[in-house]
Structure 1
Amino acid sequence: SPVNVTANGRSYAWPRVPAIAICLDGCEPAYLDEAIEAGLMPALERIKKKGTVRFAHSVIPSFTNPNNLSIATGRPPAVHGICGNYLYNPETGEEVMMNDPKFLRAPTIFQAF
């Protein structure tokens, strides 16, 4: 019987075939097309020709950590809590990278596996 995985109130069917997601953070798709046309990215060209290509819009704010966690949780920054790459800690006066799980307010899809 098919297996479903549930995370953040959403149910996902177990894939029938393995899948790979390639996330190119902060990349304009036209740059990739130009590089492919110039012969600089033959592996990506093969993936585009033989695989499936989908584009996603950035969440706001458009920083690496909020976007990666939106992918991993299926939720926007207002829900998962990662609003930037860094936060300012007024107690220490330091910038702290928001990559510690203590900042995350929503479970990731990875926790379902």
Structure 2
Amino acid sequence: MCVKFPLKYLLFSIILLQLGCSGKDKTVERPAYLMDEDTFISILIELHLADAVIEIEKTPKDSAMIRVAAFQKQTLKSHDVTLLEYEKTFKYYKDNPERFEKLY
């Protein structure tokens, strides 16, 4: 038994496959407005350490959220970085996981 497969479906499938596999490289140049990597790494380390301390102390969730927010504010201030700068930098690295991985 031979199944007839119309040529138009075959051509359509080939075109879809080619379009799906021919995407451009997603890597984007690092924008100049981002904070430098060393500062960002230092901030991440400090925030991770704060999270660990709060976790070890088994701080109740409500109190933990308040402490994390306060520690984040203090950390950013000590590095002379605004919350917006931190968030933009974090979003950039979140959207470029291969670069984010290199920081760790």
TM-score, with structure 2 as normaliser: 0.24
Q: Answer 1 or 2: higher relative contact order, Cα 8 Å, separation at least 6.
A: 2
Instruction: Write 1 or 2 for the structure with the bigger share of strand.
Output: 1
TM-score normalised over the length of structure 1: 0.23
Which of the two has higher C-alpha Rg? 2
Greater helix percent: which structure? 2
